[in-house]
Every structure is written in structure tokens, then in C-alpha cells.
Amino acid sequence: MVIDPVCGMAIDEHAAEHSLLDAGTRFFFCSVDCLNQFSARVESMKRLKLSGAQIGTISEVNGPVVEIVCERLPPLHQALYTSIDHEAYVFEAHQHLDEQRLRAIALNRTSGLQRGMPVFDTGAALRVPVTPHCLGRLLNIFGQPLDGGLPLAGEETRGILANPAPLHETVSAKGILETGVKVVDLLAPFIRGGKTGLFGGAGVGKTVLIMEFMHAVVALHKGVSVFAGVGERIREGHELWHEMQDAGVMPQTLMVFGQMDESPGVRFRVGMTALTYAEYLRDTLHKEVLLLMDNVFRFVQAGSEISGLLGRMPATVGYQPTLLTEVADLQDRIVSTTSGDITSVQAIYVPADDMTDPAVSAILGHLDTTVVLSRGQASKGIYPAIDPLLSTSKMMDRHFLGDRHYAIAEGVRAHFARYSELEDIIMMLGMEELAEADRVVVLRARKLQRYLTQPFHVVAQHTGISGASVPLAETLDDCDAFLRGEYDDVPEDRCYMRGTMKGVRS
């Protein structure tokens, strides 16, 4: 017997060599508050319950790529597996080389695999267990618990690869999904059942904004959230999990992680697993489902890695030739049906701030709303740090929003645009050199800029400021009053980090 250096558990030497969880993953799950649960239930997390007939043997292993000689070739995307001491190592078929050989991508580590090991066919693509009790849990790509809890109970399973809902079952956009976040509801409203892209780097409040959206769906719409950590760092995932527990959002949330140190096959498919659970919750519970993905660009990167490992010729800027198809396979399943709605918020990294990058362009083609988080806004203390001029929605239309909302939003955006044009003049010459009309526009724009800041519920215990959720009707009333000049005599600091303007004069 040996002592595991991370968990402090007594395990035999062979199990230590071939444990399902690597050291980094065990560190993630063996935080102080879940160590006891992990130690008691680790055995339930070690094995995938798979069965199937042998179809061939392993002939070669190159990193995550496994070459298999088969008696009969299984279809592409079929889930295959081999076993070492009753522990399953799962592969996904990706390429037929000839009539007897195929290449598969390992979804587990490949240490311990060797030539001649038998490979078995599960008979279908990868399937995950589904149950209404999945809410409040932290799972991996296989639907196994990562939170130290018991495995999901229930016999029903669903394949992670599926066709989009039939056209006759889908429904079109019904209206705005209010979030209670003023700047989002006013200038870049979420479309119920639509897709929103959240563009931003580190340190601009992206995670906090995602958590607030989760809180809004749970509190305002009595819905549920599914979070997909695509290429998530262990530290980030651990912190997000605890922050959501502290904020009280976790009981109505399901989190699925495929971490950065895992196989590219895991990062490529973990979004599909999360989407499968979102579809199940939509079809079974008939509630609002908010699907959050962080980060979709890492999904594209994983596809590019797999393409290179399989020896495919790269296409534009080195991306995989199947880029558009892979993005569409994911995005086309995010739809609303007669059973319920799935509204998606996707964090997207923009390489070199180039919005014309092929990966970004492929994703942009599927989005309804674009929200850009600006480091410049954050440096001014404007939170959420959303750039009001770059953020927009395809539904910013008078016929969809209504005349009043459209007119107020355009008026606010026009004030911000004029203020942006005059900033250099103000910096060099001062406000005194502006025309009277421009001076009024600048003063109102600065107050609107501060009014659109907002304290969030999910960080209230850290900031000491109670969170505020503002209905869209009150946001429109306040912004209309700013544009008409009703708050011209109110100091700017009275507009900062508050909910509505009710009682501000007193």
C-alpha cells in the first residue's frame, strides 16, 4: 500500500499508477470542505459502466491519438473503450485510415495503454446519465461527479451528439429576457431563446457578470442555469464553484467542466455534454434554461488540435478545414422549442483583438447579441465594464423593441458617441471651450455613464453594497428623464452604483 500524495488516502500501487483522477484534478476536488466526502465516495467515481463487443486491438498510441486495428470499422464519432483493472479508458472514433484501421482520440489520459490491448464498441456515441437531480452538481464530460458527491441516480441516458430540434418544434424569438442589469437590458438586450457573445479578457468582470446572469434567471424567471467550463483552469473552476455556492445560485445550477490540462477530445466535447443536459432540462422541466459557456474559443482551439493530430491540412490562418461545420454543430442545437427556452451566453476570446479572425467570425455568424467588455471602462471604475458603443443586438429594431425603448436606447447611444468624440478636446482645452449644446450633452452622458453602473447581488458580501436588480421599465423611465434634463442639477456621484433614481433628490 502507498499513500496518495494529494488526498492522503491509502491505495495500492497499481491503483496509484492508474487512478482515474490525475494529481491536478484531485487537487481541484480535494479542497478542505470536500475532502471528507471525496475520501468516502471516491470508489463510485472510478469506473464508467460500459459494455460492448470487442472489435479490435490497439496498434499504436501517439499522445491522445490511438490507432486501432478492427475486424469491422465502427461509424465515426462512435464511443470505444478499453479497460485496465476494471477502469475504462474511452476513445472517440474520428478517422478511418483504411478498411481495418481507424484513429481515435482518447478522452482519458493514455498512460498505461499498450499495443495489443482489446478495444470494445459501446454501440453508440458517448452517452451521459440524465436526471432532474443533476441540478446543484459539478460533473465531467462523462456525467460523473466532480464534487465528491454520489453518482447521478437514474437509468436514463442521452447521447451527447444529437441533431437540432425539428423545425416544426422550434419557436422564434418571443421577446427580451430581462436580466435586471441596466446597461444590458437597455443597449444590448438578451433575446429569449437567443445567443449572446460576451467578449472580454481577464480582469474586466466577466465571471461576475456571468454569475449575475445566473442569479437573474433563478430569481426573476425561476429558471435554471447550465455552465460549461470549456478549457477551464482548475483555479478558476474551483473559485467559481465556491462563489456560486456563497451567492446561493448553485442549487439551481449544473456545472460541467473539461479542464485545460485534459485531452483536446474532452475540451472538444464538454460543450456538447453541457448542451445535452440543457436540452434535457428544457424538455423535462419546461423552464427557462440559461446555458453559459466559457470559453467558446477554446472549443475551436481543441478542434484545431484534433485536426492537426489527425494529419489534416490546415485551412485559413491555420484553423481546421471543418471549422464552420464544428461551430454550427454546437450552435444550431441552442434553440427554443415548444417545451421550453434555452438562452445562451458565451464568453469568447478575441485573438489579438482581431474581430475578423476566422474563429471569431464563424462564431459571430450565430450570435444575436454582442456584449463587449472594455478594459478602458474598467479603468474608470465603470462596472459592469460594458462598452455601450460596441455592444449591440440584432434585435435593436423599432418593431421588436417598441418605439419608446428604441428611441431611448438610440438617444443614450448618441450621447455616448458625442462624448467620445469630444473627450480629446476636453482633455486638452477643458469643458469651457465647448459649445453650450455640447457641454450639456457631455454632462448628461457622464451622468448616464455612472447611472448605468450597478451593484451586483453575487458580490454583495465582498463589496458591502446591496445588489440591485432594475426592471427594464424603470431603466427606460430613468434614462428618458436624463435625456430630457430632469437630473441636470444632480451631482454625478449621486448617480453612481445605485439601482433606480427614485429618491435621489432627497
State residue 19's pLDDT score. 37
Last residue of a domain, one of 366, 393, 420: 393
HSE (CB half, 13 Å, CA atoms) of 189? 24
Same domain for 71 and 28, yes or no, is no
Same domain for 12 and 94, yes or no, is no
**Nearest Cα residue to 94 out of 73, 120, 72, 119:** 73
Does the structure show a pLDDT above 60 at 441? Answer: yes
| Residue 111 belongs to a domain | yes
Residue 60: CATH number of its domain: 2.40.10.170
Pairwise CA distance, residues 4 & 10, whole Å: 6
Same domain for 368 and 448, yes or no, is no
Same domain for 293 and 413, yes or no, is no
- Full residue range of the structural domain in which residue 409 is found: 401-495
State residue 439's pLDDT score. 92
**Nearest Cα residue to 21 out of 91, 98, 109, 101:** 109
Pairwise CA distance, residues 500 & 420, whole Å: 25
Does the structure show a pLDDT above 70 at 44? Answer: no
**Nearest Cα residue to 359 out of 329, 318, 391:** 318
How much of the chain exceeds pLDDT 70, in percent? 89
Which residues are bridge partners to 93 per DSSP? 104
Q: pLDDT for 241-257, tens place per residue? A: 887 787 778 888 999 99
How much of the chain exceeds pLDDT 90, in percent? 47
State residue 506's pLDDT score. 56
State residue 50's pLDDT score. 61
Least confident range of 198-207, 375-384, 482-491: 198-207
Same domain for 189 and 276, yes or no, is yes
Residue partners of 447: CB distance under 8 A and separation at least 6 = 482, 487, 490, 492, 495
Which residues are bridge partners to 373 per DSSP? 386
Same domain for 384 and 473, yes or no, is no
Q: pLDDT for 398-430, tens place per residue? A: 988 999 999 999 999 999 999 999 988 888 888
Q: pLDDT for 324-339, tens place per residue? A: 999 999 999 999 898 8
Count the domains in the chain: 4
Does the structure show a pLDDT above 80 at 396? Answer: yes
Same domain for 448 and 386, yes or no, is no
Residue linked to cell 438617444:
411
Residue 349: CATH number of its domain: 3.40.50.300
State residue 41's pLDDT score. 40
Residues noted as catalytic = 206, 232-233
| Residue 85 belongs to a domain | yes
| Residue 503 belongs to a domain | no
Same domain for 388 and 246, yes or no, is yes
Q: pLDDT for 363-391, tens place per residue? A: 998 999 999 988 888 888 898 999 999 99
Does the structure show a pLDDT above 50 at 453? Answer: yes
